[in-house]
Structure 1
Amino acid sequence: MLSFRIVLVEPEHPHNVGFVARAMHCNAIPELYIVYPNRDTVNPESYRTAHNSAEILDAAKVVHTLDEALATAHYAIAFSRRRFDTVIPHTPLPQVTEILPKEGTVALVFGRESCGLALDEIERCAMICEIPVPGQMSLNLAQAVTTACYELCRNGLLDNRGLRTDRVPLKRGRVEQANIGQIENFLQYLRAHLTDRYQNNTWTESAVREFLQRLAPTRFEMSALLGLVKSLVMQSSLKSQDKK
């Protein structure tokens, strides 16, 4: 069985630790290790941003070294965008699930907000993972953890698959393609309310007819479009009456 552990190395802002706990709770990852060389407990300020996730912080293991945080794990991945002169393999986040072991505890290791992980910390891991973003900056610590957790969830590696069964389905009518008769009814209404300029251009109606048939709208969409045009015609008529 495959399980995951989040390891934060010397997080500098307590509120980020709280946000990380919330992301872990949302993704059913309960195991949090925090490397604080000079602390033995979670900063109380972290609870302020750990909405409904205090149990994650309550159970968090505060250790003094990264070695302690990794001792009982079976595989470790260092998250970093920095370039290092190392032989440790590098992979972007979308491909990381293809390389994970089949079982054991995988530690996802994240560094400090200001400078990330040091080279000696990265070399304690089996892989470097980068979250690919087009800009030159790295994501915030809590954002990075959230993104990594979601990638695991998206690939079905977490217990909580994320989809709720009590959602009310979106009702958009029957998914049935509009027929030519419905399109022609729309064009007839449109033709009756066009200005003289467009009524005298036969290509306009042909162009709209060809466009609608090529677009292949559903009956629901065609009805919605007709209702929209009727509303515009009514609005225009009201404005004309007001001017009189």
Structure 2
Amino acid sequence: MINAKVVILEPENAGNVGAIARVMKNFALEELILVNPKFENMFEAELRAMHGIDILRNMHIVNTFKEAVSDADFIVGTTAKTGMNYNVLRTVITPEVLVERLVNINGKIALLFGRESSGLSNEELKQTDIIVTIPTSNYSALNVSHAAAIIFYEIYKSHAQWRKGAPRASSRLEKEKALEYFHLILSDINYPSFKCHIAERVFRNVISRAFISGREIYTLIGVLRRIHSFLTSKNR
């Protein structure tokens, strides 16, 4: 199975946490992280977990989003709210497309689920590499455990077809370095400041959806570094 963990941000219902633990067990996922849960009693979670009780007993509880994803090389967010063409933040893919892309990832993946009442905030979505949505009818709000089950199933169904010996995936640190140079280049060319955050998000979307390898990101960083150095020397 893939090297993935499930992260639930500020869960409000213990029963949903138990149900997610149960479907994690169904589909061979083992690591569960809760971020600042809004309930204290785990009794209902344990009732709903059934044979996934060991996942609850081994789960970790942390205080912040940053702690939960600190060791992740690739963060997959989830949302029921998709954007229009102009909303680059909420550019989404389906679970089927996700598993096609995961073939190129052999680093640590975080599967991120939001609050039952409000999902993930825009600020939290900004920290993700890619965002998944599940196509539905006009009533789009799935229970979080149902959404998790669909995504876990798609991953499990496809994992046997994944290539062994895939190239090393680019790390989060490498992707952030590429983004850092992209930001510097925008400054070098006097790109309008009010458009910079959109351009940076588009660049992040592109390198995330490409699932580029460690070798590819190394080359990209080198090219961006040379561009920045050239522009800096020209602007002196």
Report the TM-score range of the alignment, normalised by the length of the smaller protein: 0.5 to 0.7
CA contact (8 A) 2:11 2:38 kept: no
Measure how far apart 1:136 and its partner are: 2.4
CA contact (8 A) 2:28 2:156 kept: no
Partner residue in 2 for 1:34: 34
- Further displaced range: 80-89 or 4-13: 80-89
Partner residue in 2 for 1:77: 76
1:146 equivalenced with 2:149 (yes/no): yes
Query: Whole-Å Cα distance in 1 between the matches of residues 147 and 38 of structure 2?
Result: 25
Query: Whole-Å Cα distance in 1 between the matches of residues 90 and 48 of structure 2?
Result: 35
CA contact (8 A) 2:76 2:128 kept: yes
The CA deviation string for residues 32-64 of structure 1, in whole angstroms up to 9 with x for no partner, is 01111677x773331111101111001111011
CA distance change for structure 1 residues 154 and 42 in 2, over 3 Å: closer, same or farther?
farther
1:68 equivalenced with 2:67 (yes/no): yes
Partner residue in 2 for 1:204: none
Measure how far apart 1:158 and its partner are: 9.7
| Cα RMSD, aligned residues only | 2.3
The CA deviation string for residues 170-222 of structure 1, in whole angstroms up to 9 with x for no partner, is xxxxxxxxxxxxxxxxxxxxxxxxxxxxxxxxxxxxxxxxxxxxxxxxxxxxx
Aligned partner letter, 1:14: A
Query: Whole-Å Cα distance in 2 between the matches of residues 148 and 6 of structure 1?
Result: 11
CA contact (8 A) 1:88 1:123 kept: no
CA distance change for structure 1 residues 74 and 91 in 2, over 3 Å: closer, same or farther?
same
Secondary structure of the residue aligned to 1:28 is: coil
1:112 equivalenced with 2:111 (yes/no): no
Partner residue in 2 for 1:5: 5
CA contact (8 A) 1:24 1:30 kept: yes
Partner residue in 2 for 1:123: 126
Aligned with residue 100 of structure 2, among 98, 101, 104: 98
Query: Whole-Å Cα distance in 2 between the matches of residues 87 and 128 of structure 1?
Result: 9
CA contact (8 A) 1:110 1:116 kept: yes
In structure 1, stretches of 5+ residues that fail to align are 160-244
Q: TM-score, normalised by structure 2?
A: 0.61
The CA deviation string for residues 143-181 of structure 1, in whole angstroms up to 9 with x for no partner, is 01111100001112599xxxxxxxxxxxxxxxxxxxxxx
Larger radius of gyration: 1
Identity of aligned residues (%): 29
CA distance change for structure 1 residues 113 and 69 in 2, over 3 Å: closer, same or farther?
same
Partner residue in 1 for 2:15: 15
CA distance change for structure 1 residues 37 and 127 in 2, over 3 Å: closer, same or farther?
same
Please identify runs of 4+ aligned residues in structure 1 that moved more than 3 A: 83-89
Q: TM-score, normalised by structure 1?
A: 0.60
Query: Whole-Å Cα distance in 1 between the matches of residues 125 and 41 of structure 2?
Result: 24
Aligned partner letter, 1:102: I
Partner residue in 1 for 2:211: none
